[in-house]
Structure 1
Amino acid sequence: MSYKGDTFRKCGVIGAGTMGAGIAAHMASCGVDVVLLDLDGQVAADGVARQVKAGGFMMPEFAARVTTGSTRTDLGLLQDCDWIVEAVAERLDIKRALFAQIDTVRRAGCVVSSNTSTIPLAELVASASSELAGDMLITHFFNPPRHMRLLELVSGPRTKHETVERASHFIDHVLGKTIVPCKDTPGFIANRIGCYWLTAGLGEALKLGISPELADAVMGRPFGFPSTGMFGLWDLIGIDLMPGLIRSLQQALPAGDAVQAYEAEPELVAAMLAQGQKGRKSGSGFYRQSADRRVKETFDPTTRSWRPREVPVLPHADAATLIASDTLAGRYAWAVMSRTLAYAAALVPEIADRPDQVDTAMRLGYAWRSGPFELIDQLGKQAFASRLAQDGQAVPPLLAAAGADGFYGQAQGQRTVLVPTSAGAVREPVVQPAGVIALPALRLARQPVFTTEAASLWDIGEGVGLFEFHTPMNVFTPTLLESLRRTLAETPKHFRALVAGNDGRVFSAGADLKGMLAMSEKNDKAGLARFLADGVDTFTALAAAPFPIVGAAGALALGGGCEFLLHTSADALHAEASIGLVESRVGLLPGWGGVARWLLRCHEAGLSSEQAAKQVFAGVLRGVAAPCGFAAQAQHLIRRTDRIVMNVDRLIATARDWAAALAADFTPATPRAVVLPQRGVLAEFLAQQQNDLSPHDRVLGSGLVEILSGDAKTPVSLSEITDRVTTYFLDLVLSDPTRARIAHMLETGKPLKN
């Protein structure tokens, strides 16, 4: 039997805690049958139930793919697994005993891995059979497994190369994780550096007497760290858990390691834990809500009492200027980041072969916008090294060897990175995994076919072009619509197919609300009508293109972004992409043909005219986006034949290959007319929801009744349905309730119910 990674069909997970159950849930979401075992079978069943409640499954029904049981009685359920993951307590004796049990039931070639974050693989396999050791790895997931892309992979001298290859293929292509190979060292990469950063962050804050709010502001936006900052992250992880994590590193690392300079549990932390302040899980840590839930409060480390939370103002917004300033914020920034970045530089090649591997691990594992070596380059490598020396801190050899150009550079259209060698360091290309098209690398390697302020057209090989849009939030402005029309005209001259996508966190947030609001406030009905007609005409041309167009959405596709995807020949969605016609949130209806196109997809999926109309009516009126690709498919926003891609890094390449295949024998689809139910059907449907709707939503609902109603016999063209929408849209966009909703959305990012 073949054990190629993409043929894995059944996996086992032992340990049904938060991590183990989360791994099982993610595997099930990826289409795999899973066995989840714990000492007590009920614990395993409860673990699945918790994951359903917490959103660990992409769709609740995927929980049916998980079979639960007890390690005491049900180990036999693992005998036909392709991969078994251990996620039990961090005790070497427990893990070794469990692996010995697994070895008695697993079939030959079954991959076995530990999710340990602290115990080296060499110790785990020390007493294992040669057969088991050859199939063993460490696969360190990050929590929550569904959402965290990083997986740290550790193999050892006894691990078979085939085992690494098979597991890597499955983890990458099926589970959608970004694999970073790590050395077999304590804490691996992300937690080794991340825990040190957290330890130094708290320790230096206590030394300087800086407030939690100011410390969090410093360790936030200036460095591209998450908004939780330092004290907020202690609260999020758990103040009760952090000392144990730090102690485990200190016990595993030599006396001279920098992490030994800080207390694992400072007296302040011990006092807080004695009072039950464990962080978010207990409702209070360094932060909490007041008893009446009206005031955000801070536990002041100096007074040891609660006070209203402050809103600090940083003296400088960028990291380099801040870290150089002689201010409390600047001194704290230098104290923490000088030590953290120097620590990271000193650990290569101990923990990883290359700086770019470390940067990837910190970006994906701790949500840093830039990794430590990228941050050093941003601060200025020479200036950073000089200040380290002036401060009496050791300058790591790799930092000294980086040269004037820093760790990263450019050569022959490729990004390069400084890699340590036995003789010093050499520059090597930053290599993309096979089958990945990364836009940053594409931009370095070649020039676009054309570019505007709103979009670019690229050659991505195989006779396929890439239409990349890059307006703020990728919203559709008049310029972007014009760029799309130009792309539709230019593509046949250069390519046989087209992919539409980008590399941002937002595929498209829809139409340009700011521009629409400006026209509305001027009562510029003619301008709004032109913008509306421009979008309809452009998207209609998109759907009628004589070559295949594959939409590649890796993230949010809302409003006009969703309407765009409803007009393409085919769609490739990242599994976590959220898609929906959400115009009702700003008091509007989808104006660029999305209502008609969604209705058509519902009919093509086999829904009756009444079912299809109700599906679209409810979806548009409620303005709720499908939370993942599978939900979008279930709601017929994408077709059953459209593709859901697990690894977002492979999205554009997948869409490219699909577009090339479609081009071989492509004829644009001719949209058929659809039958609409009688008016009374939707009028009654609206009446059933009236009590749950705001006054303006009732107006939207009344409009949808007229738009989606017919005589239940005569087919209605898609263009006629869109024309009906246009009539209501122009009245709505000029109304005060809609203006208020748009203004509120632009100001707060949240919908207003009026």
Structure 2
Amino acid sequence: MTKEIRKVAVIGAGTMGAGIAGQVANAGVNVLLLDLPSEGASVNALAERGMDRLRDPASPGLMSDEAGNRIEIGNTRDDFHKLADCDWVAEAIVERLDIKQDLYRRLNETCRDDVIVTSNTSTIPIRLLTEGLPKSFAERFAITHFFNPVRFMRLLELVRGEHTRDDIIKMFDTFCEQRLGKGVVICADTPGFLGNRVGVFAIQCALHTAFDMGLSPTEADALFSRPMGIPKTGVFGLYDLIGIDLMADVAQSLVNILPAHDAFHKYGNPLPLMTKMIADGQKGNKSGQGFYREKEGERQVLDLESGEYVDFERLDLPLAARAERDGVVELFNDNSRYGDYTWRVLSQTLCYAASLIPEIGEDPVPIDDAMKLGYNWIHGPFELIDQIGVDRFIDRLELEGSEIPPFLQKARGSSFYAVENNILKNRWDHGSLRPLLRADGVLRFSEVRQTLKAQNENSSASWFEYEGAAVVEFHSKANALDGDSMRILNDAVTQAPNKNLNGVIVHNDAQHFSCGVNLGGVRSFFENEDYAGLDQFLDRDFQQIVLAMRECALPVVVAPSGLSIGGGFEVVLHADHVICHSNSVMGLVESLVGVVPGGGGCKENLYRWYEKTGDMEKAAWNAFMNIGMGRTATSPVLAKQQAMLRQNDEFLMNRDRLLSSALTVLPNIKKAPARAPIPLAGKPSFDKMQDWLNTAKDKGMIMAHDVTVGTEIGRIVSGGDCEPGTLASEQDLFNAERKAFLILAKTPETQARIVSMLDTGKSLRN
């Protein structure tokens, strides 16, 4: 049996290799990162460049400085002998078979005979990679295909070869799922595996169809995005993000490896306009211009007919809005030009996915998982067919004379997923339904909830009884919180003690736990000049409900992933215990839209800094800076350093284990104690804060309205003009938050910031 993985080597410090090294280090494992030796000042320049990528604050591959310290860098000339101490060697070098095989021969001569070797390739079959190498090497060789960026993309395609040992696959499945936090999909050694096979087809189909139908990039991206349950980047925006030249290479690589009969070839050829764009340096975001560009602060979009840039206009497409709200069936039912576009893209993509069974496996679940985990689709292809209705989908295909894939035909009169006897089942190639199985401890609430009946629900949230707990799920757009969301939370914490449950868990499977309070609701209050209603919302529908979480007789565990910011983070702050995902981003960002945290965020931040430092003056200053600057922590490790999480709060590498872990710990969680009054720092600290704000404005660091907002934040956390040592209760701080929020909400500057964020998605500085 293979030994435990205690040290890993990654060869190749490019984007993928550095990313793999970073995630292994995040998991607490020591890493040796090697690349070719360089001429010049540093022989390890390429590996050093990889470390710089990991530390990029725009997309940090490392959770903390401590993780970075676990990575040792070197080069393949001077440090190759160090591989003898490693348990796993991950190759992430150039996609050339001859160079890879040369490396494998060196590894075979250098490494122990129990060392596992994997490649990150997505284009070269294992049978070619291991050709001519000893069988003993091939038995411990596999492909571990990570997706970029490695830290944040959940999918890992684990590909076995003809000779790969079962124990190697089993061990790697466990290690990558539990330690690295990946959703592991075990794939056969077929071209493109699963994620790229379907994902790139969908992208190419959407691209070519837009050109064929004369849709602009703006129109296509408004449809091939959230209305289909796909990230908002869209197809042209995605090309710009990845790089038009790189995406062209990806498409060409699939053209080269897929059989001649594969439907991908219909959309694999490069388009003349894009070939010219690449030649002219219009390669996307990395070159400053692609299908979109910024010119003099204004966004422009490429006219696909003339090849010239025109002013970008935000489109208001009722079809897109309906589909985003009510699901993909809205696209199916629409007979407009836009409905025709979405049908052509959807129908061909979904049929392509169905046509791959049984070639790539007998089960639709891995394909659905690959698209959800590797491409951030909300629903996989077979889940989308179920939403439309299998029979309706097939009937329309037949009406158009389209070929029906055999696996799709087998589902006629039924579905690909169904609940039978409170068990979620999925269809497989033999035609019947069988239970959908996950690894022990992996529990996705999006699947569990299909077997449950809500105890109470509305359009913004629901709560369910499950395994002895009241589970609260937010499910509004971006999980923005409103009165309906909070009332469901309040109902759960109120009713749970009466139902003899173990406690309350607040959790969801969405991309983000909650992006804060619904700004549209705040806008409605100030546009109607209903400030009494706004005050009531902050008090009754927010502050008193998060307080009820603490006062509930049962423990409340919050298990967030993705963004927990603004009001969403205020819910997290009032939990008795937090179990979050390792990629959770947390923070109080209200100052960026001209208000203060109004649901206990200022209060909790101040209390926690006081508990952390024991010095109220330091606590007030730290709270002032954190809240005023809208700081966020990009990992739980950093959140603890910023007093956003307690030291005993937990984090897990795999978000699919949050719910099962919360259920396990819930009976043993002790209630958080009631907050005792605290001595405020008073006028000296408040004066210091005002001086800092005015100086920062004079230096051009902040804007005029930032001074106004910062003054109100300083007044809350210091006590304003009160004497140092004046005691403030939890309710006193709640009241101060509401007062400041209302003062700011009445200002034209704050209202302009909120309107800008809602209407343009941009943060206004004024």
What TM-score does the superposition give when structure 1 sets the normalisation length? 0.89
Query: Where does residue 638 of structure 2 map in the other structure?
Result: 631
How far is the alpha carbon of 1:250 from its aligned partner?
3.0
Decide whether aligned partners of structure 1 residues 675 and 15 sit closer, same or farther in structure 2, where only a CA change above 3 A counts.
same
How far is the alpha carbon of 1:479 from its aligned partner?
4.7
Residue number among 543, 565, 574 corresponding to 1:558 in the alignment: 565
State the distance in 2 between where 1:739 and 1:334 align: 40
Query: Where does residue 365 of structure 2 map in the other structure?
Result: 356
Are 2:416 and 1:412 aligned? no
How far is the alpha carbon of 1:643 from its aligned partner?
0.8
Q: Which moved more, 1:535-544 or 1:635-644?
A: 535-544
Query: Where does residue 52 of structure 2 map in the other structure?
Result: 49
Query: Where does residue 30 of structure 2 map in the other structure?
Result: 33
> What stretches of structure 2 of length at least 5 have no aligned partner?
38-43
How far is the alpha carbon of 1:651 from its aligned partner?
1.5
Q: Deviations over 1:490-528 (max 9, x none)?
A: 222321332222233343344455445545556555544
2:492–2:504 CA contact under 8 A, matched in 1: no
What amino acid does structure 2 have at the position aligned with 1:669? P
State the distance in 1 between where 2:368 and 2:645 align: 35
How far is the alpha carbon of 1:382 from its aligned partner?
3.7
- When the two structures are aligned, how many residues end up with a matched partner? 742
1:37–1:70 CA contact under 8 A, matched in 2: yes
1:603–1:612 CA contact under 8 A, matched in 2: yes
2:550–2:674 CA contact under 8 A, matched in 1: no
1:546–1:668 CA contact under 8 A, matched in 2: no
2:216–2:303 CA contact under 8 A, matched in 1: no
Residue number among 110, 121, 125 corresponding to 2:115 in the alignment: 110
Are 2:17 and 1:20 aligned? yes
Residue number among 366, 369, 378 corresponding to 2:375 in the alignment: 366
Are 2:512 and 1:503 aligned? no
2:564–2:587 CA contact under 8 A, matched in 1: yes
Are 2:129 and 1:124 aligned? yes
Decide whether aligned partners of structure 1 residues 24 and 394 sit closer, same or farther in structure 2, where only a CA change above 3 A counts.
same
RMSD: 3.3
Decide whether aligned partners of structure 1 residues 484 and 329 sit closer, same or farther in structure 2, where only a CA change above 3 A counts.
closer
Q: 5 Å matches for 1:66-215?
A: 66-206=71-211, 210-215=215-220
Query: Where does residue 239 of structure 2 map in the other structure?
Result: 234
2:419–2:451 CA contact under 8 A, matched in 1: no
Decide whether aligned partners of structure 1 residues 594 and 241 sit closer, same or farther in structure 2, where only a CA change above 3 A counts.
closer
How far is the alpha carbon of 1:278 from its aligned partner?
2.8
Q: 5 Å matches for 1:347-746?
A: 347-389=356-398, 391=400, 393-421=402-430, 425-451=431-457, 455-461=461-467, 463-470=468-475, 473-493=478-498, 494-511=500-517, 513-520=519-526, 524=530, 526-534=532-540, 535-606=542-613, 608-662=615-669, 666=670, 668-690=672-694, 691=697, 692-709=701-718, 716-746=728-758
Query: Where does residue 354 of structure 2 map in the other structure?
Result: 345
State the distance in 2 between where 1:225 and 1:481 align: 28
Are 2:279 and 1:274 aligned? yes
Decide whether aligned partners of structure 1 residues 76 and 736 sit closer, same or farther in structure 2, where only a CA change above 3 A counts.
same
Secondary structure of the residue aligned to 1:230 is helix
How far is the alpha carbon of 1:562 from its aligned partner?
2.0
How far is the alpha carbon of 1:468 from its aligned partner?
2.9
1:3–1:166 CA contact under 8 A, matched in 2: no
Decide whether aligned partners of structure 1 residues 671 and 297 sit closer, same or farther in structure 2, where only a CA change above 3 A counts.
closer
What amino acid does structure 2 have at the position aligned with 1:160? R
Query: Where does residue 10 of structure 1 map in the other structure?
Result: 7
State the distance in 1 between where 2:388 and 2:528 align: 46
Q: Deviations over 1:274-313 (max 9, x none)?
A: 33333333333444445x454513152x445555557778
Q: Which moved more, 1:512-521 or 1:90-99?
A: 512-521
Q: Which moved more, 1:247-256 or 1:203-212?
A: 203-212
How far is the alpha carbon of 1:327 from its aligned partner?
6.4
What amino acid does structure 1 have at the position aligned with 2:53? R
State the distance in 1 between where 2:733 and 2:291 align: 55
Q: % of aligned pairs identical?
A: 37
State the distance in 2 between where 1:430 and 1:289 align: 47
State the distance in 1 between where 2:490 and 2:727 align: 30
Are 2:232 and 1:223 aligned? no
How far is the alpha carbon of 1:196 from its aligned partner?
3.0
State the distance in 2 between where 1:326 and 1:532 align: 44
1:237–1:279 CA contact under 8 A, matched in 2: yes
What amino acid does structure 2 have at the position aligned with 1:166? M
How far is the alpha carbon of 1:320 from its aligned partner?
6.0
Decide whether aligned partners of structure 1 residues 737 and 209 sit closer, same or farther in structure 2, where only a CA change above 3 A counts.
closer
Secondary structure of the residue aligned to 1:258 is coil
State the distance in 1 between where 2:184 and 2:635 align: 22
Q: Deviations over 1:155-187 (max 9, x none)?
A: 234222222222222211222211112111111
What amino acid does structure 2 have at the position aligned with 1:560? G
1:15–1:86 CA contact under 8 A, matched in 2: yes
2:593–2:750 CA contact under 8 A, matched in 1: yes
State the distance in 1 between where 2:27 and 2:140 align: 23
What amino acid does structure 2 have at the position aligned with 1:558? I
Secondary structure of the residue aligned to 2:425 is strand
How far is the alpha carbon of 1:243 from its aligned partner?
4.0
How far is the alpha carbon of 1:630 from its aligned partner?
2.6
How far is the alpha carbon of 1:377 from its aligned partner?
3.5
What amino acid does structure 1 have at the position aligned with 2:357? V
Decide whether aligned partners of structure 1 residues 192 and 703 sit closer, same or farther in structure 2, where only a CA change above 3 A counts.
closer
1:679–1:705 CA contact under 8 A, matched in 2: no
Decide whether aligned partners of structure 1 residues 466 and 299 sit closer, same or farther in structure 2, where only a CA change above 3 A counts.
same
2:424–2:451 CA contact under 8 A, matched in 1: no
State the distance in 1 between where 2:235 and 2:562 align: 28
Decide whether aligned partners of structure 1 residues 246 and 446 sit closer, same or farther in structure 2, where only a CA change above 3 A counts.
closer
What amino acid does structure 2 have at the position aligned with 1:169? T
Decide whether aligned partners of structure 1 residues 77 and 527 sit closer, same or farther in structure 2, where only a CA change above 3 A counts.
same
Q: Deviations over 1:118-162 (max 9, x none)?
A: 112232233333443232221111111122111111123422222
State the distance in 2 between where 1:262 and 1:479 align: 45
State the distance in 2 between where 1:739 and 1:305 align: 36
How far is the alpha carbon of 1:743 from its aligned partner?
4.2
State the distance in 2 between where 1:204 and 1:726 align: 52
What TM-score does the superposition give when structure 2 sets the normalisation length? 0.87
1:545–1:668 CA contact under 8 A, matched in 2: no
What amino acid does structure 2 have at the position aligned with 1:701? G
1:181–1:352 CA contact under 8 A, matched in 2: no
1:586–1:745 CA contact under 8 A, matched in 2: yes
How far is the alpha carbon of 1:548 from its aligned partner?
2.2
State the distance in 2 between where 1:86 and 1:569 align: 44
State the distance in 2 between where 1:536 and 1:307 align: 47
Decide whether aligned partners of structure 1 residues 403 and 486 sit closer, same or farther in structure 2, where only a CA change above 3 A counts.
closer
Secondary structure of the residue aligned to 1:565 is helix
